[in-house]
C-alpha cells in the first residue's frame, strides 16, 4: 500500500500539474503532492523499521534497508525543494525568465522527475531500473532547457547526448546480465531480471559475462553519477537549469545513480569472488575526487563551482563503496545523506543570491551578509559544512572514510587529503568575499524565507554530533546487505 502511494502521488501530481501547472496556486499544489509523497515515504520507513528484514511489496517492487533510507531522503529533499521553488519560480516569472506555459512544464516535470527516481529506487526489476533512469534523463532535459536560452539549450543537448550514450552502455550491461541469468533462471523468462532472484543465485552466474556486464553498467550509470571522466554534462546542466533543479540533480539524482551501481556491484562480486568491481569503483572514485578538486579553481560561475564539488563528493562515495567493509560502507551511506542535504541547501542560497545580483558570476556577488544576513550566513555555513569542517556531518563521514583508507588503502590516503585540501582552498577562497566582501548594493527590504536551508543544515549538524540509534542501525543493516554479511 505504501509503495503504491509513494509512486501514485507523484504520478498523479505530474498529470494534475500538466493541466493546472500554469495557475497561481500551482506552486502550492506542487508542495501538496510532494508532502503526500514524503508522508508515504515516512509510512514505508516506519514499516521497514518495525519489520527489520526485507519487505516485498510486489514482485516488481521491493524495499529493504538500503533503498528505504534513500527513498526517505529523496522524498524529504523533494519536499523542501518544492517549498524553495515557490518563491523562487514566482520571481523568475515576474522577471520574465519563464512564462506561465513553461511554469506548467516545470511543475509537471518536477513531479515526473520525482516519480522516476522513486521508481528506480524501489523497483525489483533491473530492466525497469534502466527504464526509470532513462525517464529521469528525459524529464530533466526538459527542466534544464526551461529558460530556452542558447546556453541552456546547449547544456540540455550535452546532457541528453552524454547521458544517452551512457545509459545505452547501461542497457548493454543489463542485456549481458539477463544473458547470464537466463542460463540459471531460464524457465522464469523476464523474471530472471528481478534483483532478488539474481541475488539468490549470484554465485551460479557466469563470472566472465558478469565482469563484462559490470564494466558497461559502471560506465553507463557512472555517467549519471558524474564520475570523471564521464562528468562533462553535470556542470552545464547545473549552471543553466533553474536552481531548484540544480538542487535535486546534485542532491538526489546522483544518489540514485550510485545506488544502481552498488546494486550491480553486489551481484557481480557475488559471482566473481574477486576485487575487480571494488578496484574499478575506487579508481573512478579517486579520479573524480582529484579532477573535481582541481577544476574548482577554474570556475567563475557559482553554480558550476558547486557542481564540480558534487563530482568530488560522489567520487568520495564511490571510493568508499569500493573499499567495502562495514565501516567504509556505513561512511559512504552517511556521506550520501549529508552531501544531499548540504548541497541542496547551498543551491537554495545560491539561487536567491544570483537572483539578487542578477548574475551567477561570483565576481558580481559581494557582501551577502550585508544585503541579507539569512542568505549570507546560509551560504557560508553551507560552504563550511560541505568542506568538511567539524562539527558538521560531512566531517564525520569523511573522517571515517579517511581513517579506513589509512588502514586498508594507505596509498590512496595522501591523494584524498591533497584533493580535499585543494577543494577547501578553492571553495573557501571564493565564498568568503561573496559573503563578507564590500558592496554598494542596497539591503534587501524583506529577507527571503530560507527555512529549508537551515532545516537541512541543522540535520547535517546533528548528524555530525550524534547519529540517532535507529538511524545508525538502519545504516548498519544496509551496510550488511551491501557487504553480503
Inter-residue contact 178 to 135 (CB < 8 Å): no
Strand partners, 301: 361
Residue pointed to by grid coordinates 500554469: 22
Contact 69, 475 (CB under 8 A): yes
Count of residues in the chain? 485
The answer to whether the peptide bond before residue 229 is cis (omega within 30 degrees of 0) is yes
The residue assigned the cell 540459471 is: 184
pLDDT tens for the chain, 485 residues: list them: 778 888 899 999 999 988 887 788 888 899 999 999 999 999 888 887 776 555 555 678 888 888 888 999 999 999 999 999 888 888 888 888 888 888 889 999 999 999 999 999 999 888 899 999 999 988 888 889 888 888 888 888 888 888 888 889 999 999 998 888 877 776 555 677 888 888 888 888 888 888 899 999 999 999 999 888 888 888 888 888 898 998 998 888 999 999 999 999 988 888 887 888 889 999 999 999 999 999 998 888 899 999 999 999 999 999 999 988 889 999 999 999 999 999 999 999 998 888 887 788 888 888 888 888 888 899 999 999 999 998 999 999 999 999 999 999 899 999 999 999 999 999 999 999 988 877 756 666 555 668 889 999 999 999 998 888 888 888 888 888 887 54
- pLDDT at residue 3, rounded to an integer: 81
128 class by beta-carbon count within 10 Å (0-12 exposed, 13-18 middle, 19+ buried): middle
State CA 7 to chain mean position distance.
19
Could you give phi then psi for residue 193, rounded to 5 degrees?
-90, 0
The pLDDT, as a whole number, for residue 215 is: 92
> For the stretch 202-226, what's the b/e string if a residue is b when 16 or more beta carbons lie within 10 angstroms of its beta carbon?
beebbbebbbbbbbbbbbbbbbbbb
Cα separation, 345 vs 451, whole angstroms: 10
3-class secondary-structure state, position 58:
strand
Supply the pLDDT for residue 188: 59
Q: In whole angstroms, what is the distance from residue 1 CA to residue 308 CA?
A: 39
122 closest CA partner among 66, 80, 171, 189? 66
Nearest to 233 by CA among 259, 255, 254, 261: 254
Q: DSSP alpha helices (H): ranges in 437-468?
A: 451-465
Question: What is the model's pLDDT at position 102?
Answer: 87
389: number of Cβ within 10 Å: 15
* Confidence (pLDDT) at 445: 58
User: Cα dihedral angle (447, 453, 455, 461), rounded to 10 degrees?
Assistant: -120
Q: What span, in angstroms and rounded, lies between the C-alpha atoms of 244 and 89?
A: 9
Cα–Cα distance between 234 and 227 in angstroms, integer? 10
Half-sphere exposure of 207 (CA within 13 A, CB side): 10
- Residue 447, all three cell numbers: 529577507
pTM over 0.85: yes
CA-nearest of 174, 3, 91 to 352 is: 91
What's the CA gap between 188 and 351, in Å, rounded? 50
Amino acid at each position: 500500500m505504501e509503495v503504491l502511494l509513494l509512486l501514485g502521488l507523484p504520478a498523479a501530481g505530474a498529470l494534475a500539474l500538466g493541466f493546472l501547472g500554469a495557475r497561481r496556486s500551482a506552486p502550492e499544489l506542487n508542495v501538496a503532492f510532494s508532502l503526500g509523497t514524503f508522508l508515504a515515504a515516512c509510512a514505508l520507513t516506519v514499516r521497514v523499521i518495525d519489520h527489520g528484514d526485507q519487505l516485498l511489496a510486489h514482485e516488481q517492487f521491493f524495499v529493504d534497508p538500503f533503498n528505504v533510507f534513500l527513498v526517505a531522503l529523496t522524498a524529504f529533499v523533494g519536499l523542501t525543494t518544492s517549498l524553495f521553488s515557490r518563491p523562487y519560480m514566482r520571481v523568475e516569472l515576474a522577471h520574465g525568465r519563464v512564462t506561465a506555459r513553461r511554469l506548467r512544464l516545470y511543475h509537471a516535470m518536477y513531479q515526473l522527475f520525482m516519480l522516476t527516481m522513486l521508481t528506480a529506487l524501489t523497483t525489483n526489476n533491473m530492466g525497469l531500473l534502466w527504464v526509470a533512469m532513462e525517464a529521469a534523463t528525459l524529464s530533466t532535459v526538459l527542466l534544464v532547457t526551461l529558460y530556452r536560452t542558447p546556453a541552456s539549450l546547449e547544456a540540455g543537448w550535452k546532457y541528453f547526448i552524454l547521458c544517452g550514450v551512457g545509459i545505452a552502455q547501461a542497457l548493454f550491461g543489463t542485456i549481458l546480465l539477463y544473458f547470464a541469468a537466463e542460463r540459471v533462471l531460464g524457465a522464469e523468462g523476464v523474471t530472471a531480471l528481478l534483483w532478488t532472484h539474481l541475488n539468490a543465485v549470484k554465485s551460479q552466474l557466469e563470472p566472465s559475462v558478469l565482469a563484462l556486464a559490470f564494466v558497461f553498467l559502471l560506465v553507463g550509470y557512472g555517467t549519471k553519477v558524474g564520475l570523471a571522466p564521464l562528468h562533462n554534462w553535470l556542470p552545464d546542466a547545473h549552471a543553466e537549469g533553474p536552481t531548484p533543479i540544480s538542487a535535486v540533480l546534485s542532491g538526489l539524482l546522483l544518489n540514485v545513480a550510485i545506488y544502481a551501481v552498488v546494486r550491480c556491484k553486489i551481484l557481480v562480486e557475488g559471482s566473481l569472488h574477486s576485487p575487480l568491481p571494488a578496484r574499478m569503483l575506487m579508481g573512478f572514485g579517486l579520479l573524480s575526487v582529484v579532477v573535481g578538486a582541481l577544476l574548482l579553481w577554474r570556475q567563475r560561475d557559482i553554480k558550476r563551482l558547486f557542481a564540480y564539488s558534487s563530482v568530488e563528493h560522489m567520487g568520495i562515495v564511490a571510493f568508499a563503496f569500493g573499499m567495502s567493509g562495514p565501516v567504509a560502507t556505513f561512511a559512504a551511506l552517511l556521506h550520501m545523506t549529508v552531501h544531499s542535504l548540504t548541497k541542496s541547501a547551498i543551491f537554495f542560497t545560491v539561487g536567491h543570491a544570483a537572483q539578487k545580483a542578477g548574475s551567477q558570476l561570483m565576481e558580481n556577488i559581494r557582501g551577502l551578509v550585508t544585503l541579507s544576513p539569512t542568505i549570507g550566513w546560509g551560504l557560508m555555513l553551507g560552504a563550511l559544512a560541505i568542506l568538511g569542517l567539524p562539527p558538521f556531518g560531512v566531517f564525520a563521514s569523511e573522517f571515517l572514510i579517511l581513517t579506513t583508507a589509512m588502514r586498508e588503502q594507505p596509498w590512496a590516503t595522501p591523494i584524498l587529503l591533497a584533493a580535499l585540501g585543494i577543494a577547501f582552498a578553492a571553495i573557501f577562497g571564493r565564498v568568503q568575499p561573496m559573503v563578507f566582501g564590500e558592496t554598494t548594493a542596497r539591503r534587501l527590504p524583506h529577507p527571503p524565507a530560507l527555512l529549508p536551508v537551515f532545516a537541512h543544515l541543522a540535520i547535517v549538524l546533528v548528524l555530525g554530533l550524534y547519529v540517532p540509534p535507529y538511524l545508525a542501525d538502519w545504516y548498519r543493516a544496509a551496510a550488511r546487505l551491501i557487504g553480503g554479511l
